[in-house]
């Protein structure tokens, strides 16, 4: 997967023209493989947030013409399902705390991308792009994220995609410390933080080409 925006729109890259059944089979095969590996490693399947993030990331990548081959599909599915695997090593009392985290607790939470990176390195046939997506999915466009404080297009593309979909799904889901936001509230938040937390071009595509359709029948992957 390309690392910068200019080459995404280069016709020479060749968007993958697989029919919907081929795409669905490729996606499901990777879901099954990744979920089986996660179950074997951490004792639970990939479901809920992880699966929704992977599916939304695929939809965003399709809308942005970023799927060029089966390898891109595999990277997105595996990174989506494994992006929070490092939380398996975090004390559940912190993860499920029904109140604001203390600075010390937030420091612990910030360790999960690195923990996830080290754990995911043991997965079969995983590549550097997928690992970078896992490691850097909490970086921010303005450089105020973690773990490295990367800025703008120095953040790997897959991590930028995951940043958008991970935050959106977290906002529209119930959490121990707050009720779920509406889809409109979450979309407004993303747009307000475009160019700060998120890649502004990805936010435009997600807000105006993915969100209006992703729950309707007929959208790719439905």
What is the residue-level pLDDT of the chain in tens, covering all 222 positions?
655 444 444 445 567 777 778 888 999 999 999 999 999 999 988 879 999 999 999 999 999 999 999 999 999 999 999 999 999 999 999 999 999 999 999 999 999 999 999 999 999 889 999 999 999 999 999 999 999 999 999 999 999 999 999 999 999 999 888 899 999 999 999 999 999 999 999 999 999 999 987 554 444 444
Tokens of residue 79, six digits? 């990174």
Q: How many residues does the chain have?
A: 222
- pTM exceeding the 0.95 threshold for the entire prediction: no
Q: What are phi and psi of 134, to 5 degrees?
A: -65, -45
CB 192 within 8 A of CB 38: no
Residue in the structure block whose two tokens are 């939470």: 109
Domains and CATH numbers, the chain: 19-210 (1.10.3210.10)
Q: Would you list the DSSP string of 117-180?
A: HHHHTTSTT--HHHHHHHHTTT--TTS--SSS---GGGS-HHHHHHHHHHHHHHHTS-BTTBPP
Q: Would you list the DSSP string of 74-119?
A: HHHHHHHHHTTGGGGGS-HHHHT-SSPPPHHHHHHHTTHHHHHHHH
């Amino acid at each position: 997967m390309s690392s910068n925006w200019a080459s995404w729109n280069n016709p020479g890259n060749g968007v993958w023209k697989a029919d919907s059944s081929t795409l669905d089979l490729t996606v499901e095969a990777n879901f099954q493989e990744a979920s089986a590996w996660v179950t074997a490693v951490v004792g639970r399947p990939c479901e809920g947030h992880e699966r929704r993030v992977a599916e939304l990331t695929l939809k965003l990548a399709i809308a942005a013409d970023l799927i060029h081959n089966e390898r891109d599909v595999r990277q997105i599915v595996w990174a989506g399902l494994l992006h929070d695997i490092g939380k398996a090593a975090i004390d559940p009392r912190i993860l499920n705390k029904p109140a604001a985290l203390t600075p010390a607790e937030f420091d612990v939470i910030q360790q999960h991308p690195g923990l996830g990176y080290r754990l995911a390195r043991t997965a079969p046939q995983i590549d550097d792009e997928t690992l970078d997506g896992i490691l850097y999915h909490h970086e921010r466009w303005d450089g105020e994220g973690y773990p490295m404080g990367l800025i703008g297009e120095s953040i790997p593309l897959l991590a930028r995609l995951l940043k958008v979909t991970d935050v959106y799904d977290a906002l529209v889901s119930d959490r121990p410390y707050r009720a779920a936001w509406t889809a409109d509230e979450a979309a407004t938040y993303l747009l307000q933080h475009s160019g700060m937390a998120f890649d502004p071009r990805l936010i435009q595509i997600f807000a105006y080409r993915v969100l209006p359709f992703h729950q309707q029948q007929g959208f790719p992957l439905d």
